[in-house]
Amino acid sequence: HARHATSVDSSMRILCLETASDVGSVAVVIDGIVRAEGATSARVRLGETLLGEIERVLTASALDASSIELCAVGTGPGSFTGLRVGLAGAKGLSLALGTPLVGVPTTWTLARALDAAPSVVAIDARKDEAFTACFHHGRNGELEAVMEVRHGPHRAMGAAARAALGASACPVVVGTGAT
């Protein structure tokens, strides 16, 4: 069982970017609470809308970019182009603002947002395939990966998740590849 090692001070002002799917999302988190969030449309090019969405979310949270203390960006798995746009945007902002940058696996983000255990995160990989990972809460209550990210046909990923969690488990399934 692997643990997610990233730990962030919850009192920080954090700009969060997630671009692993066709729809990108931006959020500002202050003191561990989402203060403003937004999403880009799947119908427009992410690279053309991401910076405008960041500006809108910063304005909605009553912050200017210089007050951001940390940039966090989803590292996938997911859309290759979307990940490149998000990672490049986050890296550029981090350098311009002089803030640290932390990468957060998309599967962990989705599993933590569920706060349910056991859980299966399935991200669409196109061509009837998915990236899949399984999680549960360990003895100390921390989220733990029972199955690290695997890639393959939906049917095979479903079988792998059942094997990882046990046949009697009734997981919550989330993600763009949940079918």
Bridge partners, 144 (sequence order): 3, 136
Query: Is omega for the bond preceding 77 within 30 degrees of 0, making it cis?
Result: yes
Q: Average pLDDT of 77-102? A: 92
Bridge partners, 27 (sequence order): 16, 37
Write the pLDDT tens digit of every residue in 141-169. 788 899 999 899 988 998 898 899 887 67
Question: Cβ of 170: how many Cβ atoms within 10 Å?
Answer: 6
Q: Average pLDDT of 81-99? A: 92
Task: Provide the token pair at 45.
Answer: 């090019």
Give the per-residue pLDDT at 21.
80
CA distances in angstroms from 104 to 4, 5, 77, 98, 154, listed in the order given = 9, 10, 10, 19, 24
Indicate the pLDDT class of residue 2, thresholds 50, 70 and 90. Answer: very low
Judged against a pLDDT cut of 70, whether residue 43 lies above it is answered with no
Give the per-residue pLDDT at 5.
35
Contact 56, 91 (CB under 8 A): no
Give the chain's mean pLDDT.
85
* Neighbour-count burial for 121-159, b at 16+ CB within 10 Å, e otherwise: bbbbbeeebbbbbbbbeeeeeebbbbbebbebebeebbe
Question: Cβ of 56: how many Cβ atoms within 10 Å?
Answer: 14
Q: Average pLDDT of 84-109? A: 93
Write the pLDDT tens digit of every residue in 61-76. 999 999 999 999 999 9
Indicate the pLDDT class of residue 172, thresholds 50, 70 and 90. Answer: confident
Read off the amino acid at residue 132.
T
Indicate the pLDDT class of residue 6, thresholds 50, 70 and 90. Answer: very low
